[in-house]
């Protein structure tokens, strides 16, 4: 009998909540332990003086009805009755004189880029052909069957689905946006294209896929912001009979005779179960909660710090000014670099959220500025007064820049909120405050395609889910990963996996 089997899930991020929902749908009795007081993990937002600052979803794969991944969100109760904003452009990049508009529509993008740089027409055409091709790409096919469960036949089926895309994948998955940008003849395009997908190491394939999904209406922004989105999945889980313990940080995963047997919380409470899924930080799970007792050379190598991760500061502003007639996201290339948290930055991205009026009082706007940063810099000063001063200094420098873009804006600022990698680490336990687990680059793309182990050597009844076992992260893949963990467990228990929409 599996009906009575119990599962403990560590973490109420999207992966943990998803695992919980599918556990309940499949007759397991599950409970989630979460260190924070809220669901969602990185998928969050916070309200300050009438402004809602979103900390996560810019683009949600699976938002479009009938499109890849939409079923997953229906099963998790996240999309029913929810409105999505579908942007026609990803962002704009400008040096003050020239402007690259990153249209989602490949025809429009091709015409616009070619007008900006006729000499690069061939390169642009091949890039836009890639975007067109990816509009048919079923990314969800890669997560239908958990990779560890895939038989030779499953791999062959996946291979057949992927076959038409192999030439595009081979060409664009191995090329970073910076390398692509360097091929342009036009000096503005060299700089602007490097920033078009927000980080230069991003494989071009990733950006193409994003544009393709936006173009087909499958990468929208959920109205009400990321926490409301996470709350809907929390509700689904509770409605399915799941239990969530907040303020319940797991200190240790307890093992017995090579099996995961339970968890001990920091308050010394012990909870036992038949199976455990950690949907929390990967490094913390393997090396702290399990004390590094179940590893391999490969796992240790993954966590030795050589793989890329993404850290950032987010400066959020509540401003008494209506910016709804302005483009929603613009990266400004700077003539002179600015020094932010010890590093020179040559660009600053400014995003406003007026497209969702529920996030600010009437006539006012939320502005967010995201800056790449170095974890070690903040870690060295954390806990000292200089840390707060440094946060303020970063926001001051950024507001000075913003003044040049929107003269007089300083006077209109009603609230300033700063988040550093230490904020992300503190609130979600993610190693070095990483925002997506392993950053998707051309080096980590093979890990995404072929998968990362979801179990640990020598430990039975234990599984991992979430962004640390699905390189590149994203809310959607985290949810798919939670589902995959329950598919694995069902298979081991000889049960047919079941899923149903609300
Ligand atoms: C600024 C930003 C922008 C992003 N933009 C997008 C986007 O546009 N689209 C998109 O799809 N994705 C985006 N992402 C990525 C996405 O948010 C993550 O990849 C995804 O939410 C990860 O989910 P997860 O459940 O795997 O991990 P997490 O969200 O990290 O969840 C892990 C949970 O475990 C809890 N936990 C950790 N340790 C313990 C412990 N010891 N005991 C109990 N609980 C514990 C944490 O508190 C947390 O709730 C963005 C992320 C950030 C930060």
CATH class entry, domain 6-45+57-82+222-306+440-492? alpha beta
Give me the pLDDT at residue 3, please: 55
Of ligand 1's listed atoms, the one at least distance from the Cα of 312 is 1
312-428 shares the fold of 6-45+57-82+222-306+440-492: no
pLDDT value at position 198? 83
State the average pLDDT over residues 397-410: 96
Distance 473 CA to ligand 1 centre (A): 8
Q: Which of 51, 54, 59 is nearest to 43 (CA)?
A: 54
* Domain range 312-428, its CATH number among 3.90.550, 3.20.20, 3.90.660, 3.10.450: 3.90.660
The answer, yes or no, to whether residue 2 has pLDDT greater than 60, is no
d(CA 52, CA 227): 10
Q: With beta carbons less than 8 A apart as the criterion, state whether 421 and 370 touch.
A: no
Residue 477 phi/psi, 5° resolution? -70, -30
In ligand 1, which atom is closest to the CA atom of 15?
Answer: 25
49 Cα–ligand 1 center, Å? 25
Site residues for ligand 1, CB cut-off 6 Å = 10-16, 33-36, 41-43, 55-60, 249-250, 279-281, 284, 428-430, 435-436, 466-467, 473-476, 478
Q: Where are the domains of the chain?
A: 6-45+57-82+222-306+440-492, 100-215, 312-428
The minimum-distance atom of ligand 1 relative to the CA of 473 is 19
* pTM beyond cutoff 0.95: yes
Atom 27 of ligand 1 has which residue's CA nearest to it?
A: 13
Whole-number mean pLDDT of the chain?
A: 96
Q: How many whole angstroms separate alpha carbon 196 and alpha carbon 89? A: 11
Mutate to test the pocket of ligand 1, among 9, 36, 37, 41 (most ligand atoms within 8 A of CB): 41
Q: DSSP 3-state assignment of 243?
A: strand
- The model's pLDDT over 141-152, given as tens digits with 9 standing for 90+, comes to 999 999 888 999
Dist. CA 420 → ligand 1 center (Å)? 15
pLDDT at 1 over 80: no
Protein residue closest via CA to atom 34 of ligand 1: 11
Q: pLDDT-based confidence at 442, cuts 50/70/90?
A: confident
Average pLDDT over residues 400-412: 96
Ligand 1 centroid, distance to 335 Cα (angstroms): 35
- Which residue intervals of 434-473 are DSSP H helices? 445-450
Q: Can you tell me the distance from the alpha carbon of 175 to that of 441, in angstroms, rounded to the nearest whole number?
A: 9
Q: Is the pLDDT of residue 400 over 80?
A: yes
**Residue 368 near residue 221 (C-beta atoms within 8 A):** no
Please give the DSSP secondary-structure letter assigned to residue 366: E
Alpha carbon of 439 to ligand 1 centroid (Å): 13
316-356: pLDDT as tens digits: 999 999 999 999 999 999 999 999 999 999 999 999 999 99
Q: Where are the alpha helices (DSSP H) in 343-474?
A: 375-381, 385-405, 409-412, 421-428, 445-450
CA distance 237 to 23: 9
Distance in Å, CA 12 to ligand 1 centroid? 9
Per-residue pLDDT, averaged over 260-285, amounts to: 98
Residue with tokens 């409301």: 228
Q: How far is the CA of 426 from the centre of ligand 1 (A)?
A: 12
């Amino acid at each position: 009998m599996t009906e009575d089997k119990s599962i403990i899930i560590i973490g109420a991020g999207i992966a943990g909540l998803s695992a919980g929902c599918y556990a309940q749908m499949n007759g397991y009795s599950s409970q989630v332990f979460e260190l924070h007081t809220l669901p969602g993990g990185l998928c969050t937002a916070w309200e300050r003086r009438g402004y809602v600052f979103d900390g996560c979803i810019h683009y949600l794969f699976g938002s479009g009805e009938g499109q890849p991944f939409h079923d997953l969100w229906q099963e998790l109760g996240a999309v029913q009755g929810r409105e999505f904003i579908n942007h026609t452009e990803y962002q704009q990049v400008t040096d003050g004189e020239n402007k690259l508009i990153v249209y989602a529509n490949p025809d429009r993008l091709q015409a616009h880029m070619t007008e900006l740089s006729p000499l690069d027409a061939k390169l642009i055409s091949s890039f836009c052909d890639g975007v067109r091709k990816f509009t048919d790409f079923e990314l969800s096919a890669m997560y239908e069957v958990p990779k560890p469960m895939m038989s030779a036949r499953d791999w062959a089926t996946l291979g057949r689905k992927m076959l038409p895309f192999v030439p595009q994948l081979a060409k664009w998955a191995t090329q970073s946006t910076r390398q692509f940008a360097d091929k342009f003849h036009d000096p503005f395009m060299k700089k602007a294209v490097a920033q078009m997908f927000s980080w230069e190491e991003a494989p071009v394939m990733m950006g193409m896929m994003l544009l393709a999904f936006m173009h087909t209406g499958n990468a929208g922004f959920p109205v009400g912001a990321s926490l409301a989105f996470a709350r809907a999945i929390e509700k689904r889980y509770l409605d399915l009979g799941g239990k969530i313990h907040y303020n319940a940080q797991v200190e240790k995963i307890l093992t017995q005779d090579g099996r995961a047997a339970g968890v001990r919380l920091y308050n010394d409470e012990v909870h036992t179960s038949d199976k455990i899924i950690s949907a929390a930080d990967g490094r913390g799970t393997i090396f702290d909660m399990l004390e590094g007792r179940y590893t391999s050379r490969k796992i240790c190598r993954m966590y030795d710090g050589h793989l890329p991760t993404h850290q950032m500061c987010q400066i959020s502003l509540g401003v008494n000014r209506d910016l709804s007639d302005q483009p929603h996201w613009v990266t400004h290339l700077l003539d002179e670099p600015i020094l932010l948290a010890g590093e020179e930055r040559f660009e600053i991205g400014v995003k406003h959220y007026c497209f969702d009026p529920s996030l600010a009082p009437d006539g006012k706007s939320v502005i967010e500025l995201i800056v790449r940063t170095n974890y070690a810099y903040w870690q060295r000063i954390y806990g000292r007064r200089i840390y707060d001063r440094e946060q303020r200094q970063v926001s001051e420098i950024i507001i000075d820049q913003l003044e040049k873009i929107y003269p007089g804006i300083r006077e209109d600022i009603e609230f300033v909120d700063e988040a550093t990698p230490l904020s992300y680490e503190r609130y979600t336990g993610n190693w070095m405050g990483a925002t997506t687990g392993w950053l998707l680059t051309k080096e980590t793309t093979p890990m995404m395609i072929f998968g990362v182990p979801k179990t640990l050597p020598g430990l039975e009844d234990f599984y991992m889910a979430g962004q640390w076992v699905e390189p590149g992260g994203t809310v959607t893949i985290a949810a798919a990963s939670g589902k995959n963990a329950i598919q694995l467990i069902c298979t081991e228990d000889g049960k047919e996996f079941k899923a149903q929409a609300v």
